[in-house]
């Protein structure tokens, strides 16, 4: 009896050693898989878009010193003789670009004038529009400011004009901004498309199936009819 009792713990001890060894091997394999995991998993489309936007904004910030001359007569914005237009981005992926955009917007809002704000991160069509105005070969940096249809410059030019008091002369006679935040969009200047409810897809009964909505942008958004109409 004593001998059989002694053999039994030995068997249990042996099996536990085998179990622990296999467990450590499994842990090593799991750690190896986790280390390789970021290279194997495909990122969702939303992160893919952010990655593309990040690379574009970083390329803009790297060429920040290549701004266009304020007095260049060939650059103008059509149908904006009575507007102040600012092309900017609300993305925080590039700190300097984001801070420059925020500073320029704050300067103009301090004058309480109506601004036509065109956020490139909300609507990709603004990017194509800006490229068409400045030219495909021009280096793009943000923000870009047009006053009365004339190109004024970027962040550095606006700061200098504001410090010297010249900017106030540029914006004299432009419409005054309404007080408070827009009730329609909450200050974002965009709302969900009422045709597709923000899905950017519409069901066509005759065509059969879903098609891209022609009333909104790629994000299923349209410009707020309340505050954007004031700027326009």
The mean of the pLDDT values for the chain is 75
- Between CA 8 and CA 12, with CA 11 as vertex, the angle to 5 degrees is 90
Checking if the pLDDT of 70 tops 70, the result is no
**Residue 195 located in a structural domain:** yes
| Strand ranges inside 103-196, DSSP E | 116-119, 144-147, 150-153, 190-192
Between CA 84 and CA 118 the distance in angstroms is 11
- Between CA 109 and CA 71, with CA 129 as vertex, the angle to 5 degrees is 65
pLDDT category at 14 given cuts 50, 70, 90 is: very low
Checking if the pLDDT of 101 tops 60, the result is yes
Tokens of 172: 């004299």
Q: Are residues 193 and 227 in the same domain?
A: yes
**Residue 92 located in a structural domain:** yes
**Residue 54 located in a structural domain:** no
- Digit-coded pLDDT (tens) for 35-54: 454 444 444 443 344 444 55
DSSP string, 33-79: HHHHHHHHSPPPHHHHHHHHHHHHHHHHHHTTT-PPPTT-TT-B-TT
Number of domains the chain is built from: 2
pLDDT category at 112 given cuts 50, 70, 90 is: very high
What is the pTM assigned to this prediction?
Answer: 0.64
Checking if the pLDDT of 107 tops 90, the result is yes
More confident of the two residues 60 and 106:
106
Checking if the pLDDT of 179 tops 60, the result is yes
- Per-residue pLDDT, averaged over 197-217, amounts to 83
pLDDT category at 96 given cuts 50, 70, 90 is: very high
- Per-residue pLDDT, averaged over 1-26, amounts to 47
- Digit-coded pLDDT (tens) for 140-158: 889 999 999 999 999 999 9
pLDDT of residue 17: 47
**Residue 11 located in a structural domain:** no
Of 144, 171, 198, the residue at which a domain comes to its end is 171
Q: Among 114, 118, 225, 102, which Cα is nearest to 158's?
A: 102
Q: Among 36, 154, 43, 32, which Cα is nearest to 105's?
A: 154
**Residue 114 located in a structural domain:** yes
**Residue 133 located in a structural domain:** yes
Task: Check which CATH number belongs to the domain holding 95 and give it.
Answer: 3.40.30.10
pLDDT of residue 32: 53
pLDDT of residue 183: 82
**Residue 4 located in a structural domain:** no
């Amino acid at each position: 009896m004593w001998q059989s009792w002694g053999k039994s713990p030995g068997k249990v001890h042996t099996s536990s050693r085998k179990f622990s060894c296999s467990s450590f091997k499994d842990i090593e394999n799991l750690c190896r898989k986790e280390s390789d995991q970021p290279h194997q998993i495909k990122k969702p489309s939303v992160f893919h878009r952010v990655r593309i936007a990040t690379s574009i904004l970083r390329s803009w910030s790297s060429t920040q010193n290549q701004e266009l001359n304020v007095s260049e007569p060939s650059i103008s914005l059509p149908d904006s003789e009575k507007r102040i237009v600012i092309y900017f981005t609300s993305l925080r992926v590039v700190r300097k670009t984001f801070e420059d955009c925020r500073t320029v917007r704050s300067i103009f809002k301090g004058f309480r004038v109506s601004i036509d704000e065109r956020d490139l991160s909300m609507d990709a069509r603004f990017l194509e529009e800006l490229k068409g105005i400045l030219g495909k070969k021009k280096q793009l940096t943000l923000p870009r400011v047009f006053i009365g249809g004339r190109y004024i410059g970027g962040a550095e030019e606006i700061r200098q004009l504001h410090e010297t008091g010249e900017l106030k002369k540029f914006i004299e006679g432009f419409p005054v901004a309404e007080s408070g935040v827009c009730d329609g969009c909450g200050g974002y200047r965009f709302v969900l498309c009422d045709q597709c409810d923000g899905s950017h897809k519409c069901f066509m009964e005759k065509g059969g199936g879903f098609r891209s909505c022609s009333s909104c942008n790629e994000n299923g958004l349209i410009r707020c009819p309340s505050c954007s109409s004031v700027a326009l």
